[in-house]
Structure 1
């Protein structure tokens, strides 16, 4: 062995070094203090732990916030669904079902009902909308309990009050196409709820179709409306209305007796007297 090799194997005290192996020491110590690089490493570890801890807290906040947002969305969907279900149940409860269409009129209710209530209406007429809205609960009760049947005669006396003229005819024809189908009565209510102002263009054909689709009126209704099956009926109804000498719409009759339009109470009294 050369002298240089012997010198490398001799420690400061003159003894030879031990063979390399696993050590419990983290490294050489100088005056009991860690070297600068160990301090830097420990500081980096501490900073990393702090950052990780902060990140986890931030992540937890975001997770909780996300869960709350999802919960609110789900709750909102449930509330809307529940509200829509209640509306559908309420509408179904007043729907007398498919009626019959004959001689330009729609009849809802049992044919054998002891009392006949007739409406002569123009679907552009604001007074018709007001009366129908106020009387709806009353007439629906009498229809559904079998006391009365409702016969609706759609007329077009306000045809010239839309620009272009003719909305009353188009709306009446659309309603006549719906009268003998499930949802037809609700379609009439939709036409009142969405009644356009006088002097305007009225609802377009596409808007009339959209309202029909909302009430579940299918292809048969659409073919009837677009094919013009009842295009001339409102004109014939208007002529008959004028020949009878009625002053205006709405005209309401109970078993042929014209009411003075004193309100819902008058309608109730006449039905009760006639049944």
Structure 2
């Protein structure tokens, strides 16, 4: 009887061990199912978020962006900032295309900026400034030309009288090509030095005129002449043979034009006339 009892106890122990192992396996299977459910749920949530986000982006992309913001007093398709005499006054119209990352534009400003500002102050010419941004790719930030042009328009809208002072300061502090360019705080500091109000900061932060530069001004400049600086007087290109970089040359041309002597010596002309004037 003792042997039989001992044998039964051993069987019971084996059965208990088997039962414990069975419960462990069941618990492990439940744990794995729980983990699997959580993982699947998480993946599903992430997928739904991604799908919703993609759908929102597609929806936004399909919506019209609305009209391009333009400064007060300008027509929606006007591709330049106008200073000096009214365009219908009969005064000579000087058009200058510039990009704030363009080193040659800086040279043009150094040679002619003061003279142009004087003609504008006297309202003896109409000055149209065409802002380009095609050199964005020449800055590490990838958008210096656009940000600078937007700031210029913000300054113009704030007070047109400060526009050329700001332009001069920008070229006086022009970064080298390939650099990140000035940041927005540095640009705004120059705008303040030119006389701009605090409204210009919010205008810059809102990238208010980025689209105007990108969709109106820059395409117009590209269509007329895809280079900077580009200068024309009454619709005719001026400044060939590096004449535009000679201090006093543009002043002399405009003085002659204003005096009624529209000779070919440095005047508004085709490339051949500019070459003759520079010889």
TM-score bracket, shorter-length normalisation: 0.5 to 0.7
TM-score normalised over the length of structure 1: 0.59
Is 1:106–1:153's contact at 8 Å kept on the other side of the alignment?
Answer: yes
Partner of 1:126: 103
- Give the C-alpha shift of residue 100 in structure 1: 6.8
Per-residue CA deviations over 1:101-132 (Å, capped at 9, x if unaligned) read: 55242222121361111100001111001111
Residue 239 of structure 2 is aligned to residue 262 of structure 1: no
* 1:240 aligned residue: 220
- Point out where structure 2 has 5 or more consecutive residues left out of the alignment: 1-71, 259-279
Give 1:109's aligned residue: 84
Q: 1:176 to 1:104 in 2, by over 3 A?
A: farther
Which residue in 2 is equivalent to 1:230?
Answer: 209
1:165 aligns with 2:142: yes
Question: Secondary structure in 2 aligned to 1:108?
Answer: strand
Contact 1:105–1:176 (CA<8 Å) still a contact in 2? no
Work out whether 1:138 is the aligned partner of 2:115: yes
Equivalent of 2:163 in 170, 174, 184: 184
Q: Distance in 2 between matches of 1:145 and 1:184?
A: 15
The alpha carbon displacement at 1:136 in A equals 1.8
* Cα offsets for 1:120-148 (capped at 9, x unmatched): 00011110011111112322232233321
How many angstroms apart in 2 are the aligned matches of 1:104 and 1:193? 25
Rg larger for: 1
Q: TM-score when scaled to structure 2?
A: 0.58
Structure 1 residues 101 and 123 mapped into 2: Cα distance closer, same or farther (>3 Å)?
farther
CA distance in 1 between partners of 2:193 and 2:200 (Å): 12
Gaps of 5+ in 1: 1-98
More divergent stretch after superposition (208-217 vs 258-267): 258-267
Count residues in correspondence: 176
Once residues 156 and 207 of structure 1 are traced to their aligned partners in structure 2, the CA distance between those partners, rounded to angstroms, is: 19
CA distance in 1, matches of 2:235, 2:119: 17
Alignment partners' CA distance in 1, 2:219 and 2:194: 30
